[in-house]
Amino acid sequence: MTIKKIILKIILTKNRIRFFIILLILFVLFWLIVNSLNFSVKDRPMEFGVTFSHKYASQTLGLDWPEVYWAIITELGVKKLRLVAHWDEIEAGDNEYNFNDLDWMIDEAGKIGIEVILAVGRRTPRWPECHDPLWIKDLTKQDQDLALLNMLERSIKHFKKYDNITAWQVENEPFLKIFGKCPKPDIELIKKEIKLVKSLDTRPILITDSGELSNWQTAASLADIFGTTMYKTVWNKFFGVWRYPLPPVFYYLKAKRINKQYDLRKIIVSELQAEPWFPVDQDITYVSLYDQFNSFSLKDFENNLEYVKAAGFGESYLWGVEWWYWLAKVKDRPEFWRQAITIWQKE
């Protein structure tokens, strides 16, 4: 190789390096600008609520769920709740209904002016997502679908007497295929469920979807109110712990797009992460506090509260209230509970 060719190669190599460095600098600057965008509405304060599953509180965390619930509506001072009608809890036997627990919760919330979203259906919040009663196990799909519609009709007819129920959530992330022990999504069945609920009551229908793993189109097309999840730190079997590098504008633009496409009353965050995420078969009560706080710290909690505001949403339901209470009462670590109290003191 001649000296001329060597010099030319060095120059070209240096140019490539310079080009790469310039691209990297531009990307970093772009990323910093994008992450700094804030779409919060100054004259519209964020309304926070919580999702509460009495089944999860008692069966997974071993808590006295009425005690937890009472602390939520009195000590925390929440104004909005998303409650869950798990199928196996309200109809443990075929046509044997027990609405007593939810009746008490909704009634007590109504006495102090708390608004309630009631999640009903086969797929409802908390693992395994589909809370099937044992008696449907050996039924054909057709009979399972019929049983689901019967349960839905009975539930809406029963609970519609409560004025403080502001919306019905039909199923939970019903089009999310990769998470939960559930049958494959059946859009025609979901349409039947929504049509049934609308025929029984005029309150709006909330349909939810994954914030990170879905484009929201199908769910939003069926909804009066659309709800997105918002998780920053997750776990999956391929990568282990994964922190989403998504800026607030990611959610803001998705919300703007579907709001233009569909006649939605509003878009909310139905689940804002406020607890750690571990493998679904791992009981959190056996995980060390070090690992729990390493996965989701108090700083993560505070950051997520600011993050959802920056994304431009006006209503958000925090996910993890049962865990905060468990930490405070069982582990004598009340930091999250105390931080949560300040949320509603500011409202």
Looking at residue 32, what is its pLDDT? 61
Q: Which of 52, 66, 95 is nearest to 317 (CA)?
A: 52
Looking at residue 241, what is its pLDDT? 81
Distance CA 190, CA 145 (A): 10
Q: Taking residues 215-244, what's their average pLDDT?
A: 91
Residue 183: is its pLDDT beyond 60?
Answer: yes
% of the chain surpassing 90 pLDDT:
80
Residue 18: is its pLDDT beyond 80?
Answer: no
Distance CA 215, CA 43 (A): 29
Looking at residue 45, what is its pLDDT? 81
Q: Taking residues 120-149, what's their average pLDDT?
A: 98
Give pTM, 2 decimals: 0.91
Residue 289: is its pLDDT beyond 70?
Answer: yes
Q: What is the pLDDT of residues 208-229, one digit of tens each?
A: 999 999 999 999 999 999 999 9
One-letter amino acid of 321: V
Looking at residue 315, what is its pLDDT? 97
Q: What is the pLDDT of residues 300-332, one digit of tens each?
A: 999 999 999 999 999 999 999 999 999 999 999
Q: Taking residues 201-214, what's their average pLDDT?
A: 97
Residue 30: is its pLDDT beyond 80?
Answer: no
**Contact (CB, 8 A) for 102 and 90:** yes
Residue 340: pLDDT band with limits 50, 70, 90: very high
Looking at residue 27, what is its pLDDT? 60
Residue 40: pLDDT band with limits 50, 70, 90: confident
Which of the pair, 244 or 164, is modelled with greater confidence?
164
Looking at residue 263, what is its pLDDT? 87
Q: Is 333 left (phi over 0), alpha (psi -120 to 50) or beta?
A: beta
